[in-house]
Amino acid sequence: MSTEDRVDATMKNLEGKAQEMVGEVTGDPEDKAEGKMKQAKAEAQHSVEDAKDKVKKAID
């Protein structure tokens, strides 16, 4: 996984966590759901990049 992709996914995850917390504090279910969605996208991005790394290691 490239460092840039890892940083991007991590930032999306942190942004999602923050947005989810804001939604909880303000009682806004839309913010909370959007924050969870961002976290899920970040997790998926990490999974894809991890799979790419495994394939690359297998080839090398």
DSSP letter (8 states) at residue 28: -
**pTM score over 0.85:** no
- Distance from C-alpha of 38 to C-alpha of 46, rounded to nearest angstrom: 12
Q: For 6-37, b where at least 16 C-beta lie within 10 A, e where not — what string?
A: eeebeebbeebeebbeebeeeeeeebbebbee
Q: So what's the pLDDT on residue 31?
A: 96
Per-residue tens of pLDDT for the chain, all 60 residues = 478 888 999 999 999 999 999 999 999 999 999 999 999 999 999 999 999 889 988 998
